[in-house]
Structure 1
Amino acid sequence: MMTTAQQSFATRLGFAGLLPFLLLACAALLDIYGRIAVTWFIYYSAIIISFIAGIQWGLVMQSDAADNNRRLGWCMVPPVIAWALVAAGEWWSYVAVTAGLALLHLFWLNYERRHYQAHPWYLELRSKLTFTVVALHVIIAVTKI
C-alpha cells in the first residue's frame, strides 16, 4: 500500500499530466496554431489512454482474480480503439475522434470504479482528472472543430 506521501506525489504527477491538455486546449481556443494544437491534443489523449491501459495491466498482474485473462484482454481494447480513432482522423471528422476519445476516458474511469474500490484515493484522483479531460474534449469539439 502506498504511503500518504507517495499518494500525494502521485496526485501531483496526475495533475501535472493535465498540463498538455490544458495548454493545447488554450492554444486551440486562442487560435495559436489552432489545427495543430487540436491534432496534438488528440494525440496526447490517445497516449494517455494507452498509459491508463498500462496502469490497468499492472493492477491485473498484482491480482489473483479468476478473470485476469479477460481483464488483460480488456486492457488492450481502449488503446487499439484510440489508435484507430487517431488513424481515422484523416477521414473522419475531428468531432467523432474527439468524442470517441472522451468516451474511452469515461470507459476507463467506469472500469476502475468497478474493479479497484480498494484504492479510494486513486479513484478520487482519476475522477477529477477524467472530468477535466472529458470537459476539455467537449470544449474542443464544440468550439474548434
Structure 2
Amino acid sequence: MSPAHREFAHRLGYASLIPFVLGCALVWLIGGRDLDQHVFITTGLSAWAGLVIACLGGIHWGLSFARGLPGRQPLVWGAAAVLLGWLGVLMAPYAGLALHGGVLIACYVFDRRIYTQLGAADWLTLRFRLTAVAALSCFLAAAGS
C-alpha cells in the first residue's frame, strides 16, 4: 500500500470514531432529561457499533477467501462477530452497548493473532487505538443509559 493510501486509511479509521465519541458525549450531556433524544442517540450509537463489528467480522471472510487462511476459525469468528453486533443492537442500550464494547475488544484480540500470521501486524497499532476509543465510548455510554 502506498504511503498516501495508508495515510488515507488512517484518517478514515480515526473518522470512524466520531459517532462513538459524539454518541457517548451526547448520552451524558442529555442524560435522562429527554427520553426521546436519549433513545435516538443510544440507538444510533448501538447501530454504529454493530455496523463496525460487522465490518470487522467481514474482514476475516475477505482474508480467508483472498489469502486462503487455513481452517474454519476465521470464518466462524467473522460470522460470530456479525451476530454479536446484531444482538447488541437488539438489546436495551445499557446492555447492548456493553456487549458491543466487549465484542470490539474480542475482535482486536482475535485480529492480533490473525494479522500477525498474515504479515499485517503493522496495522495493529491503529487497530488498538481505534478499539480502545470505540470500546471505551460504548462502555461509558452504557453506563450513562
Aligned pairs for 1:1-145 within 5 A: 2-31=1-30, 33-67=37-71, 69-89=72-92, 94-117=93-116, 118-142=119-143, 144-145=144-145
Number of matched pairs: 138
* TM-aligned CA deviation for residue 66 of structure 1: 2.5
> How far off its partner does 1:84 sit?
2.0
Runs of 4+ in 1 over 6 A off after TM superposition: none
| CA RMSD between the two structures | 1.6
Structure 2: how far apart are the matches of 1:101 and 1:77? 13
With normalisation by structure 1, the TM-score equals 0.86
Structure 1 contact 21–136 (Cα < 8 Å) conserved: yes
Please report how far the alpha carbon of residue 73 of structure 1 lies from its aligned counterpart in structure 2 after TM superposition. 2.1
Is the contact made by 2:54 and 2:81 (CA closer than 8 Å) also made in structure 1?
A: yes
1:105-141 superposed Cα distances (whole Å, 9 cap, x missing partner): 0111001101112223311111000000111112112
**What is the deviation of 1:34?**
2.4
- Check conservation: 1:7, 1:121, Cα contact below 8 A: no
Give the Cα separation in 2 of the matches to 1:134 and 1:121: 21
1:64-123 deviation per Cα after TM superposition (whole angstroms, max 9, x unaligned): 3331x332122101111221232233xxxx322111111110111001101112223311
> Secondary structure, in 3 states, of the residue corresponding to 2:62?
helix
Q: Show structure 2 runs of 5+ residues with no match.
A: none
Structure 1: where are the runs of 5+ without partners?
none
CA distance in 1, matches of 2:6, 2:142: 33
Normalised by the length of structure 2, the TM-score is 0.86
